[in-house]
Amino acid sequence: MAKQAAKKKAASPASPITPTSTLRARARKNIDDGAITESYAADRKAVIRMLNDALATEYVCVLRYYRHYFMAKGMLADAVKAEFLEHAQQEQEHAGRLAERIVQLGGEPDLNPDTLTTRSHAEYKEGKDLRDMVKENLVAERIAIDSYREMINYVGDRDTTTKRILEDILAQEEEHADEFADLLEGWIG
Protein backbone atom coordinates (compact mmCIF):
# COMPACT_ATOMS: atom_id res chain seq x y z
CA MET A 1 0.00 0.00 0.00
CA ALA A 2 2.83 2.42 0.83
CA LYS A 3 4.41 1.56 -2.53
CA GLN A 4 1.15 2.48 -4.35
CA ALA A 5 0.94 5.85 -2.56
CA ALA A 6 4.55 6.60 -3.45
CA LYS A 7 3.88 5.61 -7.06
CA LYS A 8 0.84 7.97 -7.23
CA LYS A 9 2.91 10.86 -5.86
CA ALA A 10 5.70 10.27 -8.34
CA ALA A 11 3.27 10.00 -11.24
CA SER A 12 1.47 13.31 -10.58
CA PRO A 13 2.79 16.13 -12.78
CA ALA A 14 4.47 19.16 -11.25
CA SER A 15 2.13 22.04 -10.50
CA PRO A 16 2.04 24.71 -13.21
CA ILE A 17 1.53 27.30 -10.44
CA THR A 18 4.49 28.88 -8.67
CA PRO A 19 4.77 27.73 -5.05
CA THR A 20 2.97 29.99 -2.59
CA SER A 21 6.14 30.84 -0.69
CA THR A 22 7.77 32.07 -3.92
CA LEU A 23 4.70 34.15 -4.85
CA ARG A 24 4.71 35.74 -1.41
CA ALA A 25 8.43 36.53 -1.54
CA ARG A 26 8.19 38.04 -5.04
CA ALA A 27 5.18 40.17 -4.03
CA ARG A 28 7.31 41.87 -1.38
CA LYS A 29 10.04 42.81 -3.87
CA ASN A 30 9.69 46.10 -5.76
CA ILE A 31 6.43 46.84 -3.96
CA ASP A 32 6.49 50.39 -5.36
CA ASP A 33 5.71 48.92 -8.80
CA GLY A 34 2.11 48.35 -7.69
CA ALA A 35 0.28 45.93 -9.94
CA ILE A 36 3.31 45.27 -12.15
CA THR A 37 5.10 42.19 -10.86
CA GLU A 38 8.06 40.12 -12.06
CA SER A 39 5.72 38.01 -14.18
CA TYR A 40 4.79 40.99 -16.40
CA ALA A 41 6.30 39.97 -19.74
CA ALA A 42 5.55 42.87 -22.14
CA ASP A 43 7.76 45.86 -22.93
CA ARG A 44 6.08 48.29 -20.56
CA LYS A 45 7.35 51.46 -22.27
CA ALA A 46 6.18 50.25 -25.69
CA VAL A 47 2.76 49.31 -24.30
CA ILE A 48 2.37 52.71 -22.59
CA ARG A 49 3.36 54.49 -25.83
CA MET A 50 0.86 52.37 -27.80
CA LEU A 51 -1.91 53.02 -25.25
CA ASN A 52 -1.21 56.77 -25.33
CA ASP A 53 -1.66 56.73 -29.12
CA ALA A 54 -4.93 54.85 -28.65
CA LEU A 55 -5.91 57.41 -26.00
CA ALA A 56 -5.27 60.22 -28.50
CA THR A 57 -7.42 58.38 -31.04
CA GLU A 58 -10.29 58.05 -28.59
CA TYR A 59 -10.22 61.76 -27.71
CA VAL A 60 -10.14 62.81 -31.37
CA CYS A 61 -13.16 60.56 -31.90
CA VAL A 62 -14.95 62.04 -28.88
CA LEU A 63 -14.43 65.54 -30.28
CA ARG A 64 -15.53 64.55 -33.79
CA TYR A 65 -18.67 62.82 -32.48
CA TYR A 66 -19.63 65.84 -30.36
CA ARG A 67 -19.13 68.18 -33.29
CA HIS A 68 -21.32 65.94 -35.46
CA TYR A 69 -23.91 65.75 -32.70
CA PHE A 70 -24.18 69.53 -32.51
CA MET A 71 -23.95 70.15 -36.27
CA ALA A 72 -26.33 67.44 -37.52
CA LYS A 73 -29.26 68.83 -39.52
CA GLY A 74 -31.87 67.45 -41.83
CA MET A 75 -34.76 65.05 -41.89
CA LEU A 76 -32.80 62.15 -40.32
CA ALA A 77 -30.84 64.31 -37.89
CA ASP A 78 -32.61 63.37 -34.66
CA ALA A 79 -32.01 59.62 -35.05
CA VAL A 80 -28.42 60.06 -36.19
CA LYS A 81 -27.67 62.68 -33.50
CA ALA A 82 -28.61 60.12 -30.86
CA GLU A 83 -26.00 57.72 -32.33
CA PHE A 84 -23.35 60.45 -32.38
CA LEU A 85 -24.00 61.32 -28.73
CA GLU A 86 -24.01 57.70 -27.58
CA HIS A 87 -20.77 56.98 -29.44
CA ALA A 88 -19.11 60.11 -28.04
CA GLN A 89 -19.91 58.93 -24.52
CA GLN A 90 -18.68 55.40 -25.23
CA GLU A 91 -15.43 56.68 -26.75
CA GLN A 92 -14.97 58.81 -23.61
CA GLU A 93 -15.35 55.62 -21.53
CA HIS A 94 -12.71 53.93 -23.71
CA ALA A 95 -10.37 56.86 -23.08
CA GLY A 96 -10.89 56.52 -19.34
CA ARG A 97 -10.08 52.82 -19.37
CA LEU A 98 -6.94 53.42 -21.44
CA ALA A 99 -5.76 56.25 -19.16
CA GLU A 100 -6.31 54.11 -16.07
CA ARG A 101 -4.28 51.27 -17.57
CA ILE A 102 -1.47 53.63 -18.54
CA VAL A 103 -1.25 54.74 -14.90
CA GLN A 104 -1.36 51.12 -13.66
CA LEU A 105 1.62 50.40 -15.90
CA GLY A 106 3.54 53.27 -14.32
CA GLY A 107 3.03 55.73 -17.17
CA GLU A 108 1.28 59.04 -17.58
CA PRO A 109 -1.70 59.63 -19.87
CA ASP A 110 -0.64 62.04 -22.63
CA LEU A 111 -3.57 64.43 -22.99
CA ASN A 112 -1.61 67.25 -24.59
CA PRO A 113 -4.13 68.92 -26.95
CA ASP A 114 -1.30 70.14 -29.19
CA THR A 115 -0.37 66.56 -30.15
CA LEU A 116 -3.68 64.68 -30.02
CA THR A 117 -4.39 64.82 -33.76
CA THR A 118 -0.84 63.90 -34.78
CA ARG A 119 -0.79 60.86 -32.47
CA SER A 120 -4.34 59.77 -33.27
CA HIS A 121 -4.84 56.93 -35.70
CA ALA A 122 -8.17 58.43 -36.81
CA GLU A 123 -8.56 61.83 -38.44
CA TYR A 124 -10.75 64.68 -37.30
CA LYS A 125 -13.04 65.14 -40.30
CA GLU A 126 -15.91 67.58 -39.90
CA GLY A 127 -18.10 66.28 -42.71
CA LYS A 128 -19.99 68.54 -45.09
CA ASP A 129 -23.47 67.13 -44.42
CA LEU A 130 -25.16 64.46 -42.29
CA ARG A 131 -24.41 61.59 -44.68
CA ASP A 132 -20.77 62.65 -44.92
CA MET A 133 -20.56 62.77 -41.11
CA VAL A 134 -21.85 59.20 -40.90
CA LYS A 135 -19.34 58.13 -43.58
CA GLU A 136 -16.42 59.81 -41.80
CA ASN A 137 -17.37 58.14 -38.52
CA LEU A 138 -17.52 54.76 -40.26
CA VAL A 139 -14.04 55.36 -41.69
CA ALA A 140 -12.74 56.29 -38.23
CA GLU A 141 -14.29 53.17 -36.69
CA ARG A 142 -12.70 51.00 -39.37
CA ILE A 143 -9.32 52.57 -38.58
CA ALA A 144 -9.89 51.91 -34.86
CA ILE A 145 -10.81 48.28 -35.57
CA ASP A 146 -7.58 47.63 -37.44
CA SER A 147 -5.41 49.49 -34.92
CA TYR A 148 -6.97 47.71 -31.92
CA ARG A 149 -6.51 44.34 -33.64
CA GLU A 150 -2.84 45.14 -34.22
CA MET A 151 -2.40 46.23 -30.60
CA ILE A 152 -4.05 43.02 -29.35
CA ASN A 153 -1.75 40.95 -31.54
CA TYR A 154 1.29 42.90 -30.34
CA VAL A 155 0.44 42.51 -26.64
CA GLY A 156 -0.61 38.87 -26.98
CA ASP A 157 -0.46 36.96 -23.73
CA ARG A 158 2.40 39.05 -22.33
CA ASP A 159 -0.07 41.51 -20.77
CA THR A 160 -3.45 39.85 -20.39
CA THR A 161 -5.08 42.78 -18.59
CA THR A 162 -4.26 45.22 -21.40
CA LYS A 163 -5.31 42.59 -23.94
CA ARG A 164 -8.74 42.23 -22.29
CA ILE A 165 -9.25 46.01 -22.21
CA LEU A 166 -8.30 46.28 -25.90
CA GLU A 167 -10.57 43.36 -26.82
CA ASP A 168 -13.52 44.98 -25.02
CA ILE A 169 -12.91 48.28 -26.81
CA LEU A 170 -12.50 46.49 -30.17
CA ALA A 171 -15.86 44.76 -29.74
CA GLN A 172 -17.57 48.11 -29.20
CA GLU A 173 -15.75 49.71 -32.15
CA GLU A 174 -17.02 46.87 -34.36
CA GLU A 175 -20.57 47.53 -33.14
CA HIS A 176 -20.17 51.22 -33.98
CA ALA A 177 -18.92 50.42 -37.49
CA ASP A 178 -21.81 48.02 -38.04
CA GLU A 179 -24.33 50.67 -36.96
CA PHE A 180 -22.87 53.29 -39.29
CA ALA A 181 -22.69 50.81 -42.18
CA ASP A 182 -26.39 50.05 -41.62
CA LEU A 183 -27.21 53.77 -41.61
CA LEU A 184 -25.37 54.32 -44.89
CA GLU A 185 -26.95 51.27 -46.51
CA GLY A 186 -30.44 52.48 -45.74
CA TRP A 187 -29.74 56.11 -46.66
CA ILE A 188 -32.34 57.81 -48.83
CA GLY A 189 -31.11 60.49 -51.20
Model confidence, pTM: 0.86
Q: Can you give the pLDDT at residue 3?
A: 55
Burial 65-97 (b: 16+ CB within 10 A, else e): bbbbbeebeeebeeebbebbbebbebbeebbeb
Predicted confidence at residue 17, as pLDDT, reads: 86
pLDDT of residue 36: 81
Predicted pLDDT at 26: 84
pLDDT at 39: 83
- pLDDT confidence of residue 55: 98
Which regions of the chain are under pLDDT 70? 1-13, 188-189
